[in-house]
C-alpha cells in the first residue's frame, strides 16, 4: 500500500484513476474527485470501507444496490461506470458533474420562476419514477443530492447508495429513519415501516415547494415542533404559487401515505404536463462482471486493485484547474460568513496568502478553545467535538490546497454530526481565523469577479 512516512502530499492512484480532492464524506463512505489517466476523463469515486460494510452485514445489500445501479442508464441519474476493490476498500466509479447543486441557484436567486421550477421537478420525477420501476428507492432525497451538469440538466446522485444500512423487513416495508428531517415523510418519522416510493414522492414535494418559494415548507429549530408540523402537514403556500401548483403540492404533501397522490398520477397532472418532454434514453448492454468479481468470496487477488501513493516532500496538495472548477463555485469568498436560507451547506472554504504551516497552527489555536480535539496529518486536519450534539459528535475534516504560488485554499467539510451545528461551529471558528483569511482588495490592482481572482 506504499510507505506511510511523510508522504501526505503525494497523489494516490487506484487502478487507472488518480485520486484528487475529497468531495464529501459520511459514515460509510468518502467521495473523491478522480481522473482516468488513460482517457483524461474526470470522474467521482465513492470509497466504501470493507470492514465497516461487513460489520453492519451489508455486503449482500450493497451488491444488490450496486448491480441495480450499474444497470440504470437515465439522463437524470448520475451514471455508475465501474466497481473495483482493494483488500480494504470498495471503489464505485461515478459520473462527475460540474454544474454544482441545484440549490446553489436558489441561494443566489432567492427562488425560481414557476416554469423553471416545473422543468427541474419534471426531471426529478422522471429519475425517481424510472428507478422505482427497477426496485431502487432513494430514501434520502435532499438538496445536496440534486446536481446540475454543464448543460443545466438535473442529475440525482446517490440513488440506491445514500441509505445503505436500510433493510426491507418481512412486511415489505422499510424501517430505518433517515434523511434530512425537513424533507422526510411523516410515516418515516413514525418508524412503523413505510413504502419507499411514497416516501420519496413526499421529499420531491418538499423540493418543489422550496424551488418555487425559496424557503422550506416545514421549518422549526426545535425537532419535536418540526415533527409535529410534518405529521399534520402544517404549511402554507405563498401567494405567488398558481392555484394548480398549490393543489398538486397539497396532494403530494398529504400526511396519509394511503391517500397521497402517486407518481403515475403526478405525471398525468395538468400542471405537471405543461411543456413536459418524456426522457429519451439508451438501453445499452451492461456487464456486471466487475461487480461479481469484487464480491466473489473465492476470488483470487488478481481482481483486486492496489492503492499506490507517489512519495513527495511534505507540502500541501497542488490543485489543478479541473479540480478548482470541481469546487462548483470556485473561490467564492462571499460565502465565507453567509448563511443560506435554511439550507446550510456541509462544506465551506476560504483562501489565504499565509504560509501553509501558519494556517494549520491558526486552525488548531482557534478550534481547541471551542472544545475540539485536533488530529493533524501533514496538511489535513481532523477536528472532533468533545461534546455529543444532535446527531452525535461533530467531526470536521479540513484540507489545505495550493491553488497558485503562495495562494492556498482551505476547505472545511462536515464529516459527521449535524449540519446546523457545523455552521455554528464555523461561525465561531472564523472569528479566530480573520487575520489569515485573504480579503478582497488586500493587494493593489487585484479584483475578484464572481469570486475568482484576477489581476
Partner residues linked to 380 by β-bridges: 377, 399
Angle at 359 between CA 356 and CA 360, to 5 degrees: 90
Phi and psi dihedrals of 118, rounded to 5? -65, -40
- C-alpha cell of residue 441: 482588495
Closest to 363 in 3D by CA, of 339, 346, 380: 380
* Cα 173 from chain centre: 26
Give the bridge partners for 398, in sequence order. Answer: 381, 412
What nine digits make up the cell of 352? 489565504
Structure-block grid coordinates of residue 140: 434520502
Handedness of CA 103, 105, 106, 107 (dihedral sign): positive
Which residue of the set 104, 129, 140, 254 is catalytic?
A: 140
- 452-454 and 447-449: which strand pairing? antiparallel
245: which 3 cell numbers? Answer: 401548483
User: How far apart (Å, rounded) are the C-alpha atoms in residues 15 and 38?
Assistant: 10
Beta bridge partners of 401: 317, 409
Q: Which residues pair with 33 in a beta bridge?
A: 44
46 is in an annotated binding site: yes
Q: Which parts of 145-195 fold into alpha helices (H)?
A: 186-190
102-109 helix and 196-213 helix, angle to the nearest 10 degrees: 30
CB 253 within 8 A of CB 217: yes
CA 252 to chain centroid: 24
Q: Catalytic: 140? A: yes
366 contact partners, CB below 8 Å, separation of at least 6: 429, 431, 432, 433
Residues 77 and 141: their CA atoms lie apart, in Å, by 12
Distance CA 211, CA 306 (A): 43
> What's the alpha-carbon Rg for the chain, to the nearest Å?
22
- For 33-81, the DSSP string reads EEEETTT--EEEEEEEEHHHHHHTT-HHHHHHHHHHHHH---TTBPPEE
Cβ neighbours of residue 129 under 8 Å, at least 6 residues apart?
263, 267
Burial 351-368 (b: 16+ CB within 10 A, else e): bbebebeebbebbeebbe
Residues noted as catalytic: 140
Residue positions forming the annotated binding site for ATP: 46
Amino acid at each position: 500500500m506504499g510507505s506511510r512516512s511523510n508522504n501526505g502530499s503525494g497523489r494516490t492512484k487506484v487502478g487507472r484513476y488518480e485520486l484528487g480532492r475529497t468531495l464529501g464524506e459520511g459514515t460509510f463512505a468518502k467521495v473523491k474527485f478522480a481522473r482516468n489517466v488513460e482517457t483524461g476523463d474526470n470522474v467521482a469515486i465513492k470509497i466504501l470501507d470493507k470492514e465497516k460494510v461487513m460489520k453492519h452485514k451489508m455486503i449482500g445489500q450493497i451488491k444488490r444496490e450496486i448491480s441495480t445501479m450499474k444497470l440504470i442508464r437515465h439522463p437524470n441519474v448520475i451514471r455508475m461506470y465501474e466497481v473495483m476493490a482493494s483488500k480494504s476498500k470498495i471503489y464505485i466509479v461515478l459520473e462527475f458533474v460540474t454544474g454544482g447543486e441545484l440549490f446553489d441557484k436558489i441561494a443566489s436567486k432567492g427562488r425560481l420562476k414557476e416554469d423553471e421550477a416545473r422543468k427541474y421537478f419534471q426531471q426529478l420525477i422522471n429519475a425517481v419514477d424510472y428507478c422505482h420501476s427497477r426496485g431502487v428507492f432513494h430514501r434520502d432525497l435532499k438538496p445536496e443530492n440534486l446536481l446540475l451538469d454543464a448543460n443545466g440538466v438535473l442529475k440525482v446522485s446517490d440513488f440506491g447508495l445514500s441509505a445503505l444500512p436500510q433493510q426491507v423487513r418481512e412486511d415489505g416495508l422499510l424501517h430505518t429513519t433517515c434523511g434530512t428531517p425537513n424533507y422526510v415523510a411523516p410515516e418515516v418519522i413514525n418508524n412503523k415501516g413505510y413504502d419507499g416510493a411514497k416516501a420519496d414522492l413526499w421529499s420531491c414535494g418538499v423540493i418543489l415547494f422550496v424551488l418555487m418559494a425559496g424557503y422550506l415548507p416545514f421549518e422549526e429549530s426545535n425537532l419535536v415542533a418540526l415533527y409535529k408540523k410534518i405529521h399534520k402537514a402544517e404549511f402554507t403556500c405563498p401567494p405567488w404559487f398558481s392555484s394548480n401548483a398549490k393543489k398538486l403540492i397539497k396532494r403530494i404533501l398529504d400526511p396519509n401515505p394511503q391517500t397521497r397522490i402517486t407518481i403515475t398520477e403526478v405525471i398525468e397532472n395538468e400542471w405537471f404536463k405543461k411543456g413536459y418532454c418524456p426522457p429519451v434514453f439508451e438501453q445499452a448492454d451492461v456487464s456486471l462482471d466487475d461487480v461479481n468479481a469484487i464480491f466473489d468470496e473465492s476470488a483470487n487477488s488478481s481482481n483486486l486493485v492496489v492503492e499506490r501513493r507517489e512519495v513527495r516532500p511534505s507540502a500541501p496538495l497542488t490543485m489543478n484547474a479541473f479540480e478548482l472548477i470541481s469546487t462548483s463555485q470556485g473561490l467564492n469568498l462571499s460565502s465565507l460568513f453567509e448563511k443560506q436560507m435554511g439550507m446550510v451547506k456541509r462544506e465551506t472554504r476560504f483562501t489565504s496568502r499565509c504560509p501553509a504551516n501558519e494556517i494549520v497552527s491558526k486552525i488548531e489555536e482557534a478550534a481547541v478553545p471551542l472544545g475540539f480535539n485536533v488530529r493533524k496529518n501533514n496538511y489535513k486536519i481532523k477536528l472532533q467535538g468533545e461534546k455529543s450534539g444532535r446527531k452525535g459528535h461533530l467531526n470536521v475534516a479540513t484540507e489545505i490546497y495550493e491553488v497558485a504560488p503562495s495562494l492556498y485554499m482551505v476547505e472545511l467539510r462536515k464529516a459527521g454530526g449535524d449540519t446546523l451545528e457545523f455552521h455554528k461551529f464555523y461561525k465561531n471558528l472564523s472569528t479566530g481565523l480573520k487575520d489569515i483569511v485573504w480579503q478582497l482588495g488586500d493587494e493593489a490592482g487585484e479584483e475578484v469577479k464572481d469570486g475568482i481572482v484576477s489581476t
